Amino acid sequence: MKKRLTLHDKAVLAMTEAVRDVIEQHKKAKLKLAVWDWKRKKVKYISPATALRNYNKALQSKPDA
């Protein structure tokens, strides 16, 4: 029997998909993404390729519950 997703799980999935969509849209439009750098407390601009690489790395390192 399939486990039902909680509201939190659904929200995380929706946000994950939204981030992926934004990266893909910026890649198609050849625009850089504005990302907040917490350590330096300022905005930095990164390429969609870098953003996608960081995004995939973050997804792989995320612990599965």
* 45 falls within a domain: yes
**What is this structure's pTM?**
0.77
* 17 falls within a domain: no
**Is residue 64 pLDDT above 70, yes or no?**
no
What percent of the chain is predicted at pLDDT more than 90?
82
| pLDDT per position as a tens digit, 22-42 | 999 999 999 999 999 999 999
- The rounded distance, in Å, linking the Cα atoms of 38 and 43 is 9
Listed in sequence order, the residues at least 6 apart from 35 whose beta carbon sits closer than 8 Å to its beta carbon are: 43, 44, 45, 46, 51
Listed in sequence order, the residues at least 6 apart from 32 whose beta carbon sits closer than 8 Å to its beta carbon are: 26, 45, 46, 47, 48
Residue range of the domain that includes 44: 31-65
- Number of domains observed in the structure of the chain: 1
* 53 falls within a domain: yes
